Amino acid sequence: MPPVITPATHADFPAIVGLLERNALPRAGLEQQVTTMLVAKEGEQLVGTAALEVYGAAALLRSVAVAAERRGQGLGQTLTAAALDLAKRRGVRTVYLLTETAAAFFPKLGFRPIARSEVVQAVLESPEFTTACPASAVVMARSLR
């Protein structure tokens, strides 16, 4: 049976943090994003997560992580698609992301590399951009129009 993707709850947060830590992903500012965070569960076991930070017509996709035993099965793509759908429902027109390890993954989902100078100011001021990810991280964007 495939994992079920649902909105995250505060009760999911410890498992989300554990998954992010196992994937060496930052959690700075994540506590404020529970309402725009998704989880993938098999029964009670959390096997994936994705989150959005929404800034008006722009959003930052972050914390896309899949448990090691579930990688390579399309769950990361499914979580990303669900997050993009959530962004559309919230009126977002452009989704940005930062990655150090998945620059080859996200173009398959319509993202393209961009310069930091192309990112809207609100996203540039996010914890992910200001403190969590190094300047060497690849910046990508996708239009939802």
Query: Global pTM?
Result: 0.90
Q: Tell me the CATH architecture of domain 4-143.
A: 3-Layer(aba) Sandwich (3.40)
Mean pLDDT, residues 15-44: 84
Selected residue with higher pLDDT from 28 and 64: 64
pLDDT band at 93 (very low <50, low <70, confident <90, very high): very high
Q: Where are the beta strands (DSSP E) in 58-104?
A: 58-66, 94-99
Question: Per-domain residue ranges for the chain?
Answer: 4-143
Q: What percent of the chain has pLDDT over 70?
A: 93
Average the pLDDT over each of 35-39, 91-95, 125-129 and give the range with the smallest value: 125-129
Strand 58-66, strand 45-55: pairing: antiparallel
What does the angle CA 80 – CA 32 – CA 122 come to, to the nearest 5 degrees?
Answer: 75
* CB-count burial class (<10 Å; 0-12, 13-18, 19+) for 25: buried
Nearest-angstrom CA–CA distance, 139 and 15: 27
**Coil, strand, or helix at residue 16?**
helix
